[in-house]
Amino acid sequence: MNKRAIQLSVNFLVIIILSLAMLLMGILFFRKMFTGATELKANLDSQTEQELENLLIAGERVAIPFTKKEVRAGKTAVFGLGILNILGSDHNFVIYIKCSKKIPGDVPCSKIIPSGTDIIYRTPLSIENNEQYKMPLVIKAPSEKGTYIIDVRICHDDPTEPAAPAYDFDGVCDGRIIDSPDSDEYYDGSLHKIYLKVS
């Protein structure tokens, strides 16, 4: 057999193997890059993290540094939420986030959001005394354009005290005690609102 022909065949095989290896590395690199970008969306950016830290250090019980965002339909918006427990003991908290309405038209969110529910997020958690809790609020924009008003309720319950008739916290976090329309259940006495503009 011709020595040159064998050498040419070996070189050709080496080039094919190297090309396949480089293609595989390129695919893995792009996959890792896009996966990382998706994970970053669910995390707080450094500016939001810093603003949350500043507000909580200043003594804010509930901090939402940026309350307005604009996104395209179907995309996600990330808001930052921080809670500081200054009640003197460990407490249970409920984070209850609900879309209240869409404007213009004051349309109920449950009529627009594909899942048919206006509850975006609800979870109980325990925060130790003098500790902070920070989290991203990831909200997927509905397909219908407009401005969505989203209520953020933070309620608390002292785990060491049994529910009293005057303070019967049921974990629903609706800001009502018995039949009173006040917001004594809210940790800082406030119903917070964020605004998501879908364009």
Report the pLDDT value the prediction gives residue 90, as an integer from 0 to 100. 85
Radius of gyration of the chain (CA): 26
- What whole-number distance in Å separates Cα of residue 188 and Cα of residue 93? 12
4 CB contacts (<8 Å, ≥6 apart)? none
Secondary structure (3-state) at 132: strand
Single-letter code of the amino acid located at 36: G
Tell whether 50 is covered by a domain.
yes
> pLDDT digit string (tens) for 138-188?
888 887 888 988 888 888 765 555 444 444 455 566 665 544 555 667 888
Tell whether 78 is covered by a domain.
yes
Secondary structure (3-state) at 5: helix
Least confident of 8-12, 47-51, 114-118: 114-118
Tell whether 55 is covered by a domain.
yes
- What whole-number distance in Å separates Cα of residue 168 and Cα of residue 166? 6
Of 92, 151, 99, 148, nearest to 123 by C-alpha is 92
- Do residues 79 and 194 lie in contact, with contact meaning Cβ atoms separated by under 8 Å? yes
Number of domains in the chain: 1
Position 96 pLDDT exceeds 50? yes
Of 53, 98, 61, 49, nearest to 196 by C-alpha is 98
Least confident of 59-68, 121-130, 189-198: 121-130
- What whole-number distance in Å separates Cα of residue 132 and Cα of residue 128? 8
Tell whether 107 is covered by a domain.
yes
Tell whether 159 is covered by a domain.
yes
Please state whether the predicted TM-score (pTM) of the whole model is above 0.95: no
Identify any residues that bridge with 181 across adjacent strands, giving them in sequence order.
none
- What whole-number distance in Å separates Cα of residue 186 and Cα of residue 191? 7
Tell whether 144 is covered by a domain.
yes
> pLDDT digit string (tens) for 27-72?
776 566 544 444 434 577 888 888 988 998 898 999 999 999 998 9
Tell whether 37 is covered by a domain.
no
The per-residue pLDDT of the chain, averaged, comes to: 76
- Do residues 122 and 153 lie in contact, with contact meaning Cβ atoms separated by under 8 Å? no
> What letter would DSSP give residue 178?
T
What CATH number did the domain enclosing 116 receive? 2.60.40.10
Tell whether 22 is covered by a domain.
no
* Domain housing 161: 46-198
Cis peptide before 104 (omega within 30 of 0): yes
